[in-house]
Homo-oligomer: A and B are copies of this chain.
Amino acid sequence: MPIPTREWQLVRRPQGEPVPEDFRLVDTERPDPGPGEVAVRTIALSVDPYMRGRMSAARSYAPSWELDATMEGATVGQVVASRSPDVPEGTLVLHGLGWRDVAVLPATSVRPVEPLPGLPLSLYLGVLGMPGLTAWAGLFRVASFTAGETVFVSGAAGAVGSLVGQFARLRGAARVVGSAGTPEKVRWLTGDLGFDAAFDYHDGPVRELLAAAAPEGIDVFFDNVGGEHLEAAVSAFREHGRAALCGAISAYNATEPPPGPRNLTQLVGKRVRLEGFLVGDHADLRPDFLATVPGWLREGSVQARETVHDGLDSAVDAFLDMLLRGGNTGKAVVRLAPDPD
């Protein structure tokens, strides 16, 4: 008997900033699972900056979403029907077909996860999921961070940035500096997350704000923002500085190419490395990551704040609020159902 479900579809490729009219919520149904398949009811789904890229037709690292098709993304849910002995009904799983009430997919495409006593399952979309591994891989592998160094994180109150700063602190950073877009976020970074300094990038030229927050310069830059932040970091770098370029949310909705950093000649004399990365290339780090971060979470060394929107209806609002207005502090998630007991 087919399973009724509601799903978000992309109906139009956004020009510049996405608007609600680019999306459509449809009532439809999914067939019962076939042999080897499972049906998964969504508990919480993820909205992430990278999804903006999937809405464009332009070649990107992830394939473009098709128009009039249901969108995708990380989701945690519970198996409600199964024709796979490996993943029985009731199993909690992570999968990649978000933006819908119910997904039907091969059991081999889901990853069973353990309940998190006292913590929400949605953490599998953030600190214990792709954003967490992104922070881990970017900081420790791509940027080759080592104890005693000074780290600057742009977009530091976001899902990834807030973890980068905490990971750096826990692994012995000399100084952790972050930028964010509101005074409240800045206070959260220094007051709750243990950043040594933070600034609101609206308060002046980023170069000056960074120079004041890291007067002796920086060794590592973890960039989620791009543009002016990258130029400021290049100027602030000490010799042998490294940047892990994770994203450039400042440019995602630009219709004209943004101005580039005018100071790249400094890269030579200071022997600085800028390196872009995608978390998908670093799945081999997952065992290390999972051997460490859940313990930090349990002991309270890492805070994994979420900005939670309620119900599938709110998913596009949640996405736009995160992408356009920086409305999230920590990870933006959409919760469709409470965690099972």
Contacts and interface: CB of A to CB of B under 8 A. Distances in A.
A245 B266 CA distance: 10
A265 interface: yes
Interface residues of A, number: 34
Interface string A207-242: 000000000000000000010001100000000000
Interface string A40-59: 00000000000001000000
A257 B207 CA distance: 15
- Most B CB atoms within 10 A — which of A226, A262, A272, A278? A262
Given A259-B259, A260-B262, A276 B271 contact: yes
A322 to B, nearest CB: 18
Copies of this protein chain in the complex:
2
Interface stretch (A3-11, A16-24, A246-254, A296-304): A246-254
Contacts of A267: 245, 274-276
A261 B61 CA distance: 20
Contacts of A60: 269
A281 interface: yes
Nearest to A261: B260
B275 A273 contact: yes
Contacts of A109: none
A15 interface: no
- Most B CB atoms within 10 A — which of A245, A251, A264, A281? A264
Interface of A: 53, 60-61, 226, 230-231, 245-248, 251, 257-278, 281
